Chain A
């Protein structure tokens, strides 16, 4: 999706502003949102829900507001709750009601495992079309909906730096309700001067799935 999230190479944002001694969470609610996102299975589409926020909201809200938006939207779209349920609880909390407490030691153990144990696994997929050193071109017409191919690479020529064994294409996973479609993927090196007229002499390396690449003309 050509949304506000697809930021690589965009101009006009001004300086990067680091914050000294930044804590993991600036407010307790940020930690709660991170925890909710890790612990609650609301269904696929985490990223695409954020990408549909719209430019003004996306660029003027914080990271954890993006996450909160994603959880609200996916919860509603997957039928877990309604906007009215959320609004109702906002009013109850404003009136002084506390957030209910529910303990589930097994669920707490599961989320600890999620953070501390690898869930990596291998997948069968179509054969690799490219190997390290091969010249490739990024497709010009990107997938509709969610895509892991950044817009700044449309049609760009690069060279495969490393080839990787198949993993589910996340475009498909997000756009087709969790459908698993493994594909080989590649780390592709691009000369910045091939991407932008004012691109310096540096190299940009991007991980792309096989579907994002074609043979150079």
Chain B
């Protein structure tokens, strides 16, 4: 540690102080343990994230039977991969088609399908997204760079009760012949929230 000895110590932010005080009180009262908190942090930093949902989407693109099951029973389709747990008890997968584009939101809070998408991004939890996506989705999607044809119906799903939603995007042009693993690499978090669509980068 001696090589760090002369570095100035960064003062703790008010938020960090409050969080540490809360943890200290809860530990003192026996209401929580350090290793339990560590376990949650590790889980969201490693295995619980949008890479999980991407694997389901890629499977649905190559396996029509899986796709069918995913659309009728999202929990069963997620369970195939072991993607179950808190905030995934009720999961519905909604499919984009040439006629319909889906987007998800939670206007009252920030409900989100943790086992398949992990922690929601700050913009998803922010007031502008929660306020606007239900009222002016076409404008919001355009701000994300997603311009949809006028004749596409937009469906916005407000997760206000027990159901959590995942968007199944359309398989992009140019992905023919790709392996399931390569296909999963085309699917990012935003595609499964519905503010983006997967694209195959065309070499210039």
Contacts and interface: CB of A to CB of B under 8 A. Distances in A.
A208 B88 CA distance: 18
Nearest to A39: B36
A100 B24 contact: yes
Given A90-B21, A192-B134, A118 B161 contact: no
Contacts, number: 292
A22 B107 contact: no
A207 B34 contact: no
Interface stretch (B53-61, B118-126, B171-179): B118-126
A136 interface: no
A130 interface: no
A120 B43 contact: no
Contacts of B35: 103-105, 107-108
B75 A120 contact: yes
Given A24-B119, A118-B85, A207 B158 contact: yes
B39 A108 contact: yes
B199 interface: no
Given A103-B34, A107-B33, A93 B20 contact: yes
A146 B202 CA distance: 50
Interface in A87-114: 87, 89-90, 92-94, 99-105, 107-108, 110-112, 114
Interface in A1-36: 5-11, 13-19, 22, 24-36
Contact of B40 (A13, A34, A75, A120): A34
A102 B163 contact: no
A59 interface: yes
B44 A25 contact: yes
Most chain A CB inside 10 Å of its own CB: which residue of B12, B31, B38: B31
A18 B36 contact: no
Contacts of B39: 35, 39, 108, 111-112, 115
Interface string A128-155: 0000000000000000000011101000
Interface residues of A, number: 97
Contacts of B159: 207
B156 A204 contact: yes
Given A118-B75, A205-B156, A7 B130 contact: yes
Given A13-B131, A15-B128, A63-B110, A81 B29 contact: yes
A105 B38 CA distance: 11
Contacts of B33: 39, 102-104, 107-108
Contacts of B123: 16-19
Contacts of A71: 22
Interface string B100-135: 000001011110001100110111011111111011
30 contacts: A5-B108, A8-B130, A13-B131, A18-B121, A24-B119, A30-B19, A31-B45, A35-B37, A38-B86, A63-B110, A63-B125, A68-B19, A75-B22, A75-B25, A80-B29, A89-B22, A92-B24, A102-B30, A103-B33, A105-B35, A107-B35, A108-B36, A115-B115, A152-B134, A167-B90, A192-B135, A202-B137, A202-B155, A204-B134, A209-B161
Given A18-B123, A206-B160, 19 more contacts: A7-B107, A7-B108, A8-B105, A8-B107, A13-B131, A16-B128, A24-B45, A27-B15, A31-B40, A38-B86, A75-B26, A99-B27, A101-B34, A102-B30, A107-B33, A114-B86, A120-B90, A202-B153, A207-B158
A-B pairs with the 7 shortest C-beta distances?
A8-B107, A35-B37, A207-B161, A35-B40, A104-B33, A89-B21, A120-B89
